Amino acid sequence: MDVTGENGVSERLAQVRGRIAQACRDAGRAEATVQLIAVSKTFDAEHILPVLAAGQRLFGENRVQEAKGKWPSLKERHPDVELHLIGPLQSNKVREALALFDVIHTLDRPSLAEALSREIARLEGRPAPRLLVQVNTGEEPQKAGIAPGAADAFLDACREEHGLTIEGLMCIPPADEPAAAHFALLGRIAARNGLKTLSMGMSGDFETAILLGATHVRVGSAIFGGR
């Protein structure tokens, strides 16, 4: 098998899909309740095309600028692609982000809620993005996200002060801790706030995330190879 070429990518995608299916069986969940987001950050169109050809339609990018360089033309060829922003969003990039992304996973502060609210109002009928709030479950100072203890109040403020509909939550657990406790915490915050979408789990831990209720897993290197 050529693990660096097209066959390698579609082979690895098939393996990831198989592992997701198995994790769903282990968790007693229907496969359709878990969506795979293929994280294509740092990879160019040449690497993304075979994944599109294999039928993958949800993709994740962590930088607005990088996504702007490769996705408009790919989306033209595949209008049913759903693009997810999984990296930090600067308030001055919100307009560009709304033009490109269908789902934003990284609403992480009041000023961004305010900027999103303002720009969504300008869309005038074009569909607004789906929004997830990022929770800093490990309370790591270098990481973005709302502290777990502040999440309920922030979600209320998003709805009541900014008029935003929040679909769910996202987290990136600390790299040096077992992820399960963080996934469970995110699930509890979502449940008590009536949110149905849980974006959690990456290449190293997506099976654990599925056991703990992930609806969206964000998988990069297990599909595209090392960055």
Q: Which residues bind ligand PLP (CB under 6 A)?
A: 39, 41, 62, 86-87, 172, 202-204, 218-222
Of the two residues 144 and 181, which places its CB atom closer to ligand PLP in the complex?
Answer: 144
What one-character DSSP code corresponds to residue 199?
E
Instruction: Give dist(CA 200, CA 98) in Å, integer.
Output: 22
Minimal distance in Å, beta carbon 212 to ligand PLP? 16
Minimal distance in Å, beta carbon 78 to ligand PLP? 21
> Which amino acid is present at 77?
R
Of the two residues 117 and 203, which places its CB atom closer to ligand PLP in the complex?
Answer: 203
Instruction: Give dist(CA 139, CA 24) in Å, integer.
Output: 29
Handedness of CA 162, 167, 168, 171 (dihedral sign): negative
Minimal distance in Å, beta carbon 104 to ligand PLP? 12
Of the two residues 21 and 123, which places its CB atom closer to ligand PLP in the complex?
Answer: 21
Instruction: Give dist(CA 123, CA 96) in Å, integer.
Output: 12
Instruction: Quickly tell me which residue has 């949800």 as its tokens.
Output: 58
Minimal distance in Å, beta carbon 226 to ligand PLP? 8
Of the two residues 162 and 167, which places its CB atom closer to ligand PLP in the complex?
Answer: 167
